[in-house]
Copies of this chain bind each other. A is one copy, B any other.
Amino acid sequence: MYFDPVEALDRPALERLQTERLRRTLAIAARSPFYGERLAGLNIDDIRTPDDITSLPFTTKDDLRSQYPYGMLTRPQEEFVRLHASSGTTGTPTAIFYTQGDLDAWADLMARSMYACGCRKTDVLQNMSGYGLFTGGLGIHYGSERLGMLTIPAGAGNTKRQIKLIRDFKVTVMHIIPSFALYFAQKVREEGFDTADMPWRIALIGAEPHTEEARRKIEEMMHIKAYNSYGLSEMNGPGVAFECEHQTGMHLWEDAYIAEIINPETGEHVAEGEVGELVMTTLTREGMPIIRYRTRDLTRFLPGQCACGRTHRRIDRIAGRADDMIILKGVNIYPMQIEHCLMAMPEVGQNYLIELVTEGVSDQMKVKVEIKDEFFVEDMRSLQALQKRIAKNLCNEILLTPRVELVQHDSIPKTEGKAVRVVDNRSKE
């Protein structure tokens, strides 16, 4: 039923395991130059529950940069067997080092993740991700072999060969970047095949943020079940959180990580179920543990229990970066909250724009919203009613009332690449 019985451990036992591992992690971490100093004075006996982690300082990306290359290591460099580094030839990169034990633990987490969404040793996995310094390629590869799947290290590119391999070896599981999946489905048809006749049944689509709509479209076009995942190289790489077969959020493996969700401004925990910045602590990494890492990724814990029986909490798909947060009149607002609210209304079209302005002494939010043609009628009263309804829904979500302007389809200029959703025109005094 589960790859590892720990996935269904009851919460009290899971929390005892977390506490024990947190204490061990802190003892190990203190051997590194960075934490040796940062944690000086910490009495490990004061850590009695996972919640006691809140007494510890955060670790940021800048901390990792400042310790490049060896400042985070708890043992001599010769005891490490793998290094992944962020790309970029300018600026200070970050480097993550792994012992053999760390690689084994990571492969186990990755295998468990793929098992959770239905992968079995009888499956054939085609890894269509680039290998190399990026953790996605080797992470999936090692996990797939650990699970016992026949693993095809196809790498990125060469669409025709990918299709031939999938057909020749009856590939049932694909690791594919979501933005490539739709293009790939199109190519399969251009080669004269019906996506419904392909042998695949599962697509693993992590590695880049995507919407629920994109997932459903991939599933429809490819005739496949697509599962979302979350990972970051600071926490090993992929295999941090993964959807089970129910596709209702990603189980975050709490025997291997302590996850917190904080208000990125105050550093305090948000209320249960609220969106905030994910903060993570490794519990099983021996070579380079990281304590309370500020991921800058926004998400929330999903309430309730999952039907699969796994007890590890689920996080929602990533709703943006903490750096995107808007602070208006002392209230924290994430653009994604506004998007969710707008997209839930059938009258709203594809595009919207948030503008922040200063009027007199106070800052205001204006939201320009495209309305679908069939709702953009000439009846002024119903348009005004819609406008009011949108403002009210937004107020329920973000706790202040923006000025809403309704515009016609295609009125908001489109930009190449990532859409610009927020324009900040506030006076900077």
Contact = CB atoms under 8 A, between A and B. Distances in A.
Interface of A: 68-69, 77-78, 80-85, 87-89, 93, 95, 97, 100, 103, 121-122, 124, 130-133, 137-138, 141, 144-145, 148-155, 158, 160-161, 164-165, 168-169
30 contacts: A68-B168, A77-B124, A77-B150, A78-B121, A78-B148, A78-B150, A82-B150, A82-B151, A82-B153, A83-B169, A84-B153, A85-B152, A88-B161, A89-B160, A89-B161, A89-B164, A93-B164, A93-B168, A95-B168, A100-B145, A100-B148, A103-B145, A130-B155, A131-B132, A131-B153, A131-B155, A132-B154, A133-B152, A133-B153, A138-B153
A82 B145 contact: yes
Query: How many copies, total?
Result: 2
Given A69-B168, A85-B165, A132-B131, A78 B122 contact: yes
Query: Closest 5 A-B residue pairs measured CB to CB?
Result: A131-B131, A132-B155, A78-B122, A81-B145, A89-B160
Contacts of A81: 144-145, 148-151
Contacts of A124: 77
Contacts of A161: 87-89
User: Which interface residue of A78, A100, A144 has the most chain B CB atoms within 10 A?
Assistant: A78
A164 B78 CA distance: 20
A103 B68 CA distance: 33
A88 B164 CA distance: 10
Contacts of A83: 150-152, 169
A153 B95 CA distance: 12
Contacts of A85: 152, 165
User: Which interface residue of A144, A153, A164 has the most chain B CB atoms within 10 A?
Assistant: A153
Contacts of A97: 150
A231 B131 CA distance: 22
A89 B191 CA distance: 12
A160 B90 CA distance: 10
A190 to B, nearest CB: 14
User: Which interface residue of A78, A83, A103, A148 has the most chain B CB atoms within 10 A?
Assistant: A83
Contacts of A69: 168-169
A69 to B, nearest CB: 6
B137 A131 contact: yes
Contacts of A160: 89
Contacts of A77: 124, 150
A41 to B, nearest CB: 32
Nearest to A70: B169
Contacts of A78: 121-122, 148, 150
A83 B165 CA distance: 10
Contacts of A150: 77-78, 80-83, 97
B133 A154 contact: yes
Nearest to A88: B161
A80 to B, nearest CB: 5
A153 to B, nearest CB: 5
B149 A132 contact: no
Nearest to A132: B155
B133 A155 contact: yes
